[in-house]
Amino acid sequence: MADTMEALVVTAPNQLEIRQLDIPRPSANEVLARVRAVSICGTDAHLIRGDYPGFWPPAFPFTPGHEWAGEIVELGDGAGALGFAVGDRVCGTSHNACGFCQKCVEGRYNLCENYGKPGLHRQYGHNCQGVDATYAVHNVKCVFHLPDTVSFDQGAVIDPASIALHVARRGNIQPGDTVAITGAGAIGMLAADAALICGAAKVIVAGRGNRLEKARQLGFEVVDTTGGDPVQAVRERSEGLGADVVLECAGVPQTLQWAMAMLRRGGRCVIVGIPTEQIPLAIQPLVLDELELVGSRASAGEMRRVIPFVDNGRMRVGELITHHFPLRDYQKALDTFNDRSSGAIKIIVQP
């Protein structure tokens, strides 16, 4: 192993470079992994544009990336005793929470009350250096064994698959429910698979363009949001009553408004798309129909739970991979990701 590695560095909003950086070394309870595949996330695109100034990232220069898979090449003290060995195939997630605040103790480490405090909490690729590099260090809390039957490319999409499963679980989907999905991107389609896993009898995906066609190919009922009133279309597909649960995966004002209007009386809407602007909502139906609006952030223990579903094909991560690029072509990969006409859903970058 050399002393330096190739890494993507964002020097300022929308300014990217490929640099040679020192290879990091693992500390106690950490592993060093050779990164084989990284998936571009919508959060990466926002972060690179500078949409979360001073928060994600705290400062530039910065290396993004948090959806990845690879193999362990070095162990920090204690990592071996926790079940890891050099050569293990692994995938990773981003939240390295403190582990002792009330939310962490309750298992909701995605809501760690020490978020971002130096020495207590790190979120890889968000408030500390990410994995768009040849090598990356992660705490063992954030690393999971990858079955031999799951490729590195598929492994890089397990983190968003865990987020999708968390969204579905936050929806409290019951067997036989009708579930609508607003947003036909990667999280939306993975959430559709997660809804089936949780027992939904019918899943309706509302979206547009190439992504909606992909949802159709995966066997979901679809509603084209450019072809009429999507709220009415969902109600027509649910005996006029509306969906029991709506999973809002787009994070824009109009889709959230649609999502709330699609609900059956007593229904629950879960929003995982992170809005970057204020959204006006009608409150009277929320009260009179006893609707629920629930937030969903990242995942909280679903990595372990979702890996078997990726392995057995019920969570179809591989179906969503549309493009591959080497790390040196990250700008081209990002441009492709941001271009809706490209047909991109999940783009794999290979360091």
Give the pLDDT confidence of 216-251 residue by residue, as tens digits.
999 999 999 999 999 999 999 999 999 999 999 999
Closest CA to 323 of 307, 339, 306, 303: 339
Instruction: Report whether pLDDT(17) > 80.
Output: yes
- From the number of C-beta atoms within 10 Å of its C-beta (0-12, 13-18, 19+), residue 219 rates as exposed
Percent of the chain topping pLDDT 90:
97
Here the tokens at position 34 are: 């050779």
Average pLDDT on 312-319 reads 98
Average pLDDT on 257-281 reads 94
Instruction: Report whether pLDDT(123) > 90.
Output: yes
Instruction: Report whether pLDDT(284) > 90.
Output: yes
Q: How far is Cα 156 from Cα 161, in angstroms, rounded to an integer?
A: 10
Per-state percent for the chain, helix, strand, coil, to nearest 5: 30, 30, 40
pTM, full prediction: 0.97
Domains and CATH numbers, the chain: 4-156+316-350 (3.90.180.10), 164-295 (3.40.50.720)
Instruction: Report whether pLDDT(38) > 80.
Output: yes
Instruction: Report whether pLDDT(36) > 80.
Output: yes
Q: How far is Cα 255 from Cα 185, in angstroms, rounded to an integer?
A: 13
Amino acid type, 222: V
The DSSP annotation for 81-113 comes to GGT--TT-EEEE-SEE--S-SHHHHTT-GGG-T
Whether the ω angle into residue 61 lies within 30 degrees of 0, i.e. cis, is yes
Banded pLDDT at 276 (limits 50, 70, 90): confident
**Distance from chain centroid for Cα 88:** 23
Average pLDDT on 158-180 reads 98
- From the number of C-beta atoms within 10 Å of its C-beta (0-12, 13-18, 19+), residue 78 rates as middle
CB atoms < 10 A from the CB of 67, how many? 31
Closest CA to 138 of 36, 66, 62, 89: 66
Instruction: Report whether pLDDT(2) > 90.
Output: no
pLDDT at 5: 98
Percent of the chain topping pLDDT 70:
100
